[in-house]
Chain A
Amino acid sequence: MTDKAKLLGRVRMYDFALVEVIEYLDGHPDNAAALKYYNEMRTAFDKAAAEYEDAFGPLTAREVDTRSGHWTWIDDPWPWEGAED
């Protein structure tokens, strides 16, 4: 597995945990364990996303580094093209 695949795997893992705990919290807004888990996953996601973006480019169009003078957001491959790992 490449470093890119490993880092993106961590982004995915923490994001999926966030997606699910957010849906759980929608229905259980005062659950202390879920609130704690949310905070832990958010910290972990932010760290993993920053590491991925520093090495392999932006995950969102608002994180593009324009110093190269090129809009790297559009650079191939796109997610459905299956080369992201």
Chain B
Amino acid sequence: MWSYDKRLQFPVKIKNPNPQTAKIVISQLGGPDGELGASMRYLNQRYAMPYKECKGILTDIGTEELAHMEMISAIVYQLTRNLTPEQIKEGGFDAYFVDHTTGIYPQSASGVPWSAATFQSKGDPITDLFEDMAAEATPL
């Protein structure tokens, strides 16, 4: 079961829109090593984890990743507020805009929609942990 707090984990307050930056940042939402994938990775892998300490860690970090997802979405949302047609074209945001307007859609910077194919859940905790290290190596 989950509950929702009506606040971001860390404040996001962006004054000026910047579609160029939004195009890159969106990968941290829906790219292969983004927050959505991180959350799904841990929350799905936890069922195969035999150790209570690690069941707790996978549950709690998988939950925290959802809060990270909300912050990244807020960043993209604020970076693309009140864009003019010129800003959309000049910022190279037109390819995204034609499919989603300024809606938040989980995709990589290169435009590939988020997919569960970006993570693994093999029913073996050591195998899963190696996969976790590969995914976390990018931000580290």
Contact = CB atoms under 8 A, between A and B. Distances in A.
A69 interface: no
Given A12-B9, A80-B12, A82-B78, A27 B57 contact: yes
B12 A82 contact: yes
A60 B53 contact: no
B4 A61 contact: yes
Interface residues on B, range: 20 to 34
A13 to B, nearest CB: 10
Contacts of B13: 82, 85
Given A19-B64, A23-B64, A79 B7 contact: yes
A84 B53 contact: no
A8 B13 CA distance: 14
Interface of A: 5, 8, 11-12, 15-16, 19, 22-23, 25-29, 58-62, 73, 78-80, 82, 84-85
